Amino acid sequence: MAGAFGITLLCSWLFFTCIVQAQTGPIDVTQLGAKPDGSADMSQVLADAWKQACNSTTASTILIPKGTFLLKEASLAGPCKAPVEIQIQGIIKAPEDPAQISKDNEWMTIKYVDQLTLSGGGTLDGQGAKAWTQNECRVKTECSKLPNTLSLNFVNNTVIRDLTSLNSKLFHVNLFGCNNITFQHFTITAPGDSPNTDGIHIGHSTGVVITDSNIGTGDDCISIGDGAKQVNISKVTCGPGHGISVGSLGRYDNELPVEGIFVTDCTISGTLNGVRVKSWPAAKSGSATNMHFEGIIMQNVSNPVIIDQEYCPNNQCTNTAPSSVKIAQVSFKNITGTSATPAAVTLLCSKSIPCDGVEIADIDLAYNGNQGNVSSNCANVKPALSGKLNPPICANATIPAQAA
């Protein structure tokens, strides 16, 4: 009798355990009706899974298993009652035609969420090739905006790890109004000629960490816009692309300051620029301060080190006044490798507001081409110099008397 009673207790305990596991297991989108065939739209299924996870009072996981899933668009909004993880093991594909993405011109948007994790080893495939032929923004100031792949708006305390963004139509990732965001083991892939496909764009956000990641795309690997503060980038491999950039700044009214940018131990290969700070020639004010680039390896990079306060792509400038963006407390240290152009270091600061507190130390950049000797080009800046300097830096630089 006692044995039977014990078996009954054991069975009851096992049954209870099974119930608890069923209740606390991941929310598998295939069990809600998503089909991994690459053609059935999973937009409503993902919305339903998100609603279930976001309303849970305990931590929840949404599972997108291996397979190929079509997602026309998603807008996942909080606040949620507990942490949520979206585990992407498969491939999520966007529609090839950007006209099929209607909501605010964004493909996958997550907003007003705290304690989010995106993980799983899967891929967000923006299927951007068709859209790239429709992109006129690189040559026109008035143009139709294509959708980003992943937009995080007002998202806090979040980790994105072990994921790939492939062939975005516009930016791969766009951050706005975020705090404490970490990217780790994140891969971004698009052709070097895919237009305006910035890897990770950071705007109005604080405490962003990007580490142990590989980014190759058609524009800036990482672009840092106004209002970005305390951004730490380390152990990133960048290329193809346009390098790692602060800016462009000074194009719009009421831009917020950029403060505290740290780029360390990165490798940049075959890009149009290396590490860059850029602002438009215009009367619109702004500032970028406390920026440090250190321990960077350049491999056949055009313009490896550049401050460009005359940034004007495709002759879009309507105002030829000097830039009113103040650049200060900038250091470039321990930068080595090869330049694809003779001008290995270019510091073109504003005539009306020269750069302050620029430090250059231990630069060793070789140029093996046939267009002359490796050189530097400087204006409106007098940097503090130390260590080995190849090329010689700013030997003839001056600051205009009226601005000194």
Q: Is there a contact between 87 and 119 (Cβ–Cβ < 8 Å)?
A: yes
Of 342, 396, 332, residue with least CA distance to 362: 332
Q: Which residues of 25-41 are buried (b: 16+ CB within 10 A; e: fewer)?
A: ebbebbeeebbbeeeeb
Of 187, 180, 181, residue with least CA distance to 162: 187
Cα 50 from Cα 48, distance rounded (Å): 5
What single string gives the DSSP state of each residue in 198-246? -SEEEES-EEEEEEEEEEE-SS-SEEE-TT-EEEEEEEEEE-SSS-EEE
End-to-end CA distance of the chain: 97
Q: Which residues of 145-175 are buried (b: 16+ CB within 10 A; e: fewer)?
A: ebbbbbbbbbbbbbbbbbbbbbbbbbbbbbb
Whether omega before 79 lies within 30 degrees of 0, making that bond cis, reads yes
Instruction: Count Cβ atoms within 10 A of the Cβ of residue 266 and give its class: 0-12 exposed, 13-18 middle, 19 or more buried.
Output: buried
> Annotated catalytic residue: which of 185, 204, 242, 292?
242
Of 170, 181, 169, 167, residue with least CA distance to 91: 167
Q: Which helix (H) or strand (E) holds 46?
A: helix 43-55
CA distances from 1 to 6, 9, 110 (A): 9, 12, 57
DSSP 353: S
CA distances from 87 to 98, 117, 126 (A): 25, 8, 18
Cα 154–chain centre separation: 16
- Using only C-alpha atoms, the chain has a radius of gyration, in whole angstroms, of 24
204 catalytic, yes or no? no
Catalytic residues: 242
